[in-house]
């Protein structure tokens, strides 16, 4: 017999505690694997990071392609990508998460050296994203990484008319959603702004 020392790094979007409770995942296996748990919110919950991640991914792709195309690091100046496209990318829900963003960056990187500027009509993937965003009424305002709510602004909680938002239920939903407000709001069946 040989001694082996291994580490397992795994990622999942499944809620394993619920899977264990439902009998779909082994509790002993979960406890063996869960030495260190990190929770990274999905990209759709971090829209303010989209432009930075896109810039990073584009830089890596251009480097991989051996291109000498110069990306401007300034988040406010992207002469190679029009403002409408940037806004669409920020409002998009990213169902494929960061992998999908990396694929979009790859397609933009392939088109950039030839065109110098990429517009939605240049790439089908950008047309698809623009169509998805324009057809969705809940994502009409792109996030601004520079603007944040004023800490002095007091907001009255809305009257929900039922007992959905009692303290215990909210706390339980937040814990189950790993402290993600959008996730907890979905569990409670309310809008995240209500929560």
Residue 80: the pLDDT is: 81
Distance CA(126)–CA(85), nearest Å, equals 7
Task: State both tokens at 89.
Answer: 């990318």
DSSP state of 158: P
DSSP state of 66: T
Distance CA(142)–CA(149), nearest Å, equals 14
Residue 92: the pLDDT is: 92
Residue 135: the pLDDT is: 77
Task: State both tokens at 179.
Answer: 């402290």
Which residues in 50-86 are b (16+ Cβ under 10 Å) and which e? Answer: bbebbbebbeebbeeeeeeeebeeeeeebebbeeebb
pTM: 0.56
Residue 173: the pLDDT is: 77
- Domains identified in the chain and CATH numbers: 43-134 (1.10.8)
Q: Spell out, as residue ranges, where the chain has pLDDT lower than 70.
A: 72-78, 136-165, 191-195
With 0-12 / 13-18 / 19 or more C-beta atoms within 10 angstroms meaning exposed / middle / buried, residue 89 is: buried
Residue 106: the pLDDT is: 94
- Contacts for 141-145: CB closer than 8 Å, 24+ residues apart: 141/91, 142/47, 142/86, 142/87, 142/90, 142/91, 143/47, 143/48, 143/90, 144/48, 145/48, 145/49, 145/51, 145/52, 145/75
Are the C-beta atoms of residues 108 and 123 closer than 8 Å to each other? yes
Distance CA(139)–CA(181), nearest Å, equals 17
pLDDT (tens digit per residue) in 83-134: 888 888 989 999 999 999 999 999 998 888 777 778 888 889 999 998 898 8
Residue 192: the pLDDT is: 65
Residue 78: the pLDDT is: 64
Are the C-beta atoms of residues 19 and 29 closer than 8 Å to each other? no
Q: Is the dihedral of CA 20, 184, 48, 154 positive or negative?
A: negative
Residue 2: the pLDDT is: 93
């Amino acid at each position: 017999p040989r001694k082996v020392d291994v580490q397992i790094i795994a990622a999942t979007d499944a809620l394993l505690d619920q899977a264990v409770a439902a009998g779909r995942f082994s509790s002993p296996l979960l406890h063996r694997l869960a030495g260190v748990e990190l929770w990274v919110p999905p990209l759709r919950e971090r829209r303010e990071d989209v432009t930075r991640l896109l810039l990073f991914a584009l830089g890596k792709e251009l480097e991989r392609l051996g291109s000498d195309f110069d990306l401007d690091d300034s988040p406010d100046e992207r002469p190679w990508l029009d403002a409408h496209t940037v806004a669409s990318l920020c409002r998009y829900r990213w169902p494929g998460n960061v992998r999908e963003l990396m694929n979009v960056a790859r397609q933009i990187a392939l088109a950039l050296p030839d065109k110098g500027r990429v517009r939605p009509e240049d790439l089908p993937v950008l047309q698809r994203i623009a169509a998805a965003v324009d057809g969705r009424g809940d994502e009409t305002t792109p996030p601004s990484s520079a603007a944040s709510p004023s800490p002095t602004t007091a907001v009255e909680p809305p009257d929900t008319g039922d007992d959905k938002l009692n303290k215990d239920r909210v706390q339980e939903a937040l814990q189950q959603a790993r402290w993600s407000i959008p996730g907890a709001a979905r569990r409670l069946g309310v809008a995240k702004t209500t929560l």
